[in-house]
Structure 1
Amino acid sequence: MTTSPASSSPSVGDEPTKRLAVLIDADNAQAAVIEALLEEVARFGEATVRRIYGDFTSPASASWKKFLNKHSIKPLQQFAYTTGKNATDSAMIIDAMDLLYTRRFDGFCLVTSDSDFTGLAVRLREEGLQVFGFGEQKTPEPFRNACHKFIFTEVLRTPDVATISGKPAAGGAIVAEASHKSEVAPSSISRPPFPEKFLMEALDKSVDDAGWANLGTFGSYLQKIQPDFDSRIYGYKKLSDLVRDRPDLFATEERPTPSSNYKVLYVRANTGV
């Protein structure tokens, strides 16, 4: 039997590939993660438009230059009109609205840690488009919650030291342990306490009458109520790794899919029964 990689990641299946516009705020994004970021975008659809906005005559934007041609990212030069004012934000928002009204896109990827783009994310959602946000952990909560899915760019950094697994200790702290499940460098991200209460409450709302939830259904519900939830923050590459590694909280069961060789992972609360 072949076991499918059960997780909360989007599945392409037989659906047409989503056309995405990737808009990058050079003033509030880091060039070091762009390769991994574009790979992440590919999980959701095709980046048919790739644009970056900033003042590329500024030393602060110099790190972007070597990535632009390599990844076919179109730079939009924006000089500052006056000291202390960010003209880049306005240029990016105006361009996003122009692209929106072409009706050629299924979604937008907004790469920024700036809360000034919250209104843009809300407007895009109102038009029925998918909004994926990418930013650092410092990104304000309103912008994160305005996106359908928000990915912390810290989890996209290439690990340069031993990876770790989120094992709970007294007081909810995270204890570092060698593990194949993590792809996040410990030094690159601040790990919050393990969200046991949140996960169990979400699972309770995802289960069927028998108390079981398809892992995909569980993952989709987690994303809807907390767009920035990401198992990688807690040291797990996939949601399936997280639930399997916490038998004190979750019971899991693989079920065969009719007319296929794949198995689907189901999860329920471990009640000890």
Structure 2
Amino acid sequence: MPDSERGLRIALLIDADNAPAEKIDEILTELSTLGEINIRRAYGNWTKHGLQGWQSRLLEFGIRPIQQFDYSKRKNATDMAMTVDAMELLYTDRPDAFGIVSSDADFTPLVMHLRAKGSAVYGFGAEQTPKPFVNACSRFLYLESLTGEPEGEADAARAAGHLADALPAEAVPPSQELPAPGVPARPATLRVPTTALRQDTRLLNLLRHAVQACQDEDGWARVGALGTQIGNKTSFDARNYGYATLSKLLAATQAFELRDEGTPRVAVRDKRSARAPQPPLHGAAG
């Protein structure tokens, strides 16, 4: 069990052939909110000119470079080397969670196996990352969404317990033909407008079903519990829609009422439930 004060023990594995060096600071910042990143490795063929930008980042953040030559043209062996190391770490060091930085769907079977063995997997990749890889992760963040967050938004969200949707969960990747909830079909750096959110039937159904599962007798559900319920169901992060917190995304849909906003007690209720007529009291006079 992870130490409650330190949080999770995290192994970060980076596909340097398939990830930008300039994003590593934001990735480490994100993972550090969850626990201690005590294993940091970047894989690639370091003889390639295209990887020269990684050198200063590796030294700055204490990331161990793992050399992997290409065994044939137009193919690289980086993904296989990462997979072998991940499996070894799973059964030797036994980290509580893995961070996988790549936009390569070939890692999907690895992610599903790691999660089946009880490890959370936090994925980071470009917006065009194939959906099976995105959906297999406990949580997946587009690298584009890790920039431009207003100052103070992340701290407020964590204080309110809105990172609960990052909890480990078992998930089966849905059809590749439709984007899964939490995976909007638009650049993650743009805030999805209300009109588009309200047309996203899958997203609204996901949010409404979660509210129904967590609501009290008056129809109110704590946003923290809501995030946990959604995270246990599918890979989801409000920032992939351009919103810093789950409560801001809920408000933007204009489909929910919110109370106690800006506090750890923030709660939400489906507006349809609030408008539903109340049943008559038994025994009331005619």
Higher relative contact order (CA 8 A, sep 6+): 1
Structure 1 match to 2:213: 205
1:253 deviation in Å?
Answer: 2.2
Indicate the RMSD between aligned Cα atoms, in angstroms. Answer: 2.8
* 1:232–1:215 distance in 2 versus 1, CA, 3 Å: same
Structure 2 match to 1:251: 257
1:225 deviation in Å?
Answer: 2.7
Structure 2 match to 1:264: 265
1:148 aligned onto 2:172: no
SS of residue in 2 equivalent to 1:105:
coil
1:28 deviation in Å?
Answer: 1.2
1:217 aligned onto 2:225: yes
CA contact (8 A) 2:139 2:237 kept: no
Structure 1 match to 2:241: 234
1:131 aligned onto 2:121: yes
1:238 deviation in Å?
Answer: 1.1
* 1:195–1:13 distance in 2 versus 1, CA, 3 Å: farther
What is the TM-score when the length of structure 1 is the normalising length? 0.76
CA contact (8 A) 1:194 1:234 kept: no
Cα distance in structure 2, aligned partners of 1:219 and 1:239: 7
Cα distance in structure 2, aligned partners of 1:34 and 1:240: 27
Count of residue correspondences: 233
- Out of 168, 172, 197, which is 2:194 matched to? 168
What is the TM-score when the length of structure 2 is the normalising length? 0.73
Structure 1 match to 2:28: 38
1:194 deviation in Å?
Answer: 9.6
SS of residue in 2 equivalent to 1:236:
coil
Q: Which has the higher helix share?
A: 2
Cα distance in structure 2, aligned partners of 1:77 and 1:56: 6
- Out of 24, 30, 37, which is 1:47 matched to? 37
Cα distance in structure 1, aligned partners of 2:269 and 2:197: 24
SS of residue in 2 equivalent to 1:41:
helix
Which residues of structure 2 form unaligned runs of 5+? 150-188, 276-286
Structure 1 match to 2:174: none
Counting aligned pairs with the same residue, the percent is 39
1:219 deviation in Å?
Answer: 1.1
CA contact (8 A) 2:258 2:268 kept: yes
Structure 1 match to 2:157: none
1:211 deviation in Å?
Answer: 1.4
1:106 deviation in Å?
Answer: 0.7
1:234 deviation in Å?
Answer: 2.5
For 1:108-151, what per-residue CA distance to the aligned partner results, in whole angstroms no more than 9, with x for missing partners? 11111111111111111121111111111211121112211111
Structure 2 match to 1:60: 50
1:27 deviation in Å?
Answer: 1.3
CA contact (8 A) 1:173 1:194 kept: no
1:15 deviation in Å?
Answer: 5.3
* 1:222–1:109 distance in 2 versus 1, CA, 3 Å: same
* 1:66–1:158 distance in 2 versus 1, CA, 3 Å: farther
Cα distance in structure 1, aligned partners of 2:63 and 2:44: 13
SS of residue in 1 equivalent to 2:266:
strand
1:88 deviation in Å?
Answer: 0.6
1:254 deviation in Å?
Answer: 2.5
CA contact (8 A) 1:137 1:152 kept: yes
